[in-house]
Amino acid sequence: MAKVLIVDDSPVTRMIIGEFLSMSGHEVAGEAENLAEAVAAYAQKKPDLVTLDLSMGQDDGFAVLKALRAQDPKAKVLIVSANSQSEIYDQLLKDGAAGFVTKPFTLADLLAAVLKVLPS
């Protein structure tokens, strides 16, 4: 089972993702709602996977993704966003995103995406 860091500025979405992950036996290693918190939590918790929103107050998901991948080039980041524009997904893939889940999502949607990123 994976240690997961949840990065989203919505407490409701952090709660939903956390509940789904916990129900499935994964460990919620921490939560963050902006870039600074995400970078600090990643360094401290060293998660197997990060779930990351795209629209977060001052910091967009691109900046957080780049910061996390700069911190750890092997960081596995799953984008969880309502945005489904293909150009944005293409750019996120180039920037190192490992996968995507579109909001709203079900337990099955989230777990399928986690399994795709962390097959083991």
Partner 1 sequence: MSGLSDAGKSALTAIVAAGAEECAAKLADFTHHPWSVESVTLSLDEAGPFADLMAGVAADTYGSAITFPGGSFLLLYSGKSGYLISSAFTRDFQDRVEGMSKREILALGEASNILINPLVGRLAKAWGASLIISSPKTAISSRRDHLTRSLESSKAGGNLAATFAVKLVSTQLFSECHLLLFLDAAMVEKIAKA
* Distance from C-alpha of 54 to C-alpha of 83, rounded to nearest angstrom: 8
Terminal C-alpha separation, the chain:
9
Tell me whether strands 49-52 and 77-81 are parallel, antiparallel or unpaired: parallel
Place of tokens 């970078």: 39
Closer residue to partner 1 in complex, CB, 48/78: 78
Binding to partner 1 (CB under 8 A) within 24-53 occurs at none
| Stretch 58-97: interaction string toward partner 1, x if CB under 8 A | --x---------------------xxxx-xx--x------
User: Would you say 107 or 115 has its CB closer to partner 1?
Assistant: 107
CA 66 vs CA 18, 35, 36: distances in Å: 23, 10, 12
19 interacts with partner 1 by CB under 8 A: yes
> Using CB under 8 A as the criterion, what x/- string covers residues 95-114 for binding partner 1?
--------xx----------
Taking the complex as a whole, the smallest distance from the CB of residue 107 to partner 1 amounts, in Å, to 9
Residues near partner 1, by CB under 8 A: 9-13, 15-16, 19, 54-57, 60, 82-85, 87-88, 91, 103-104
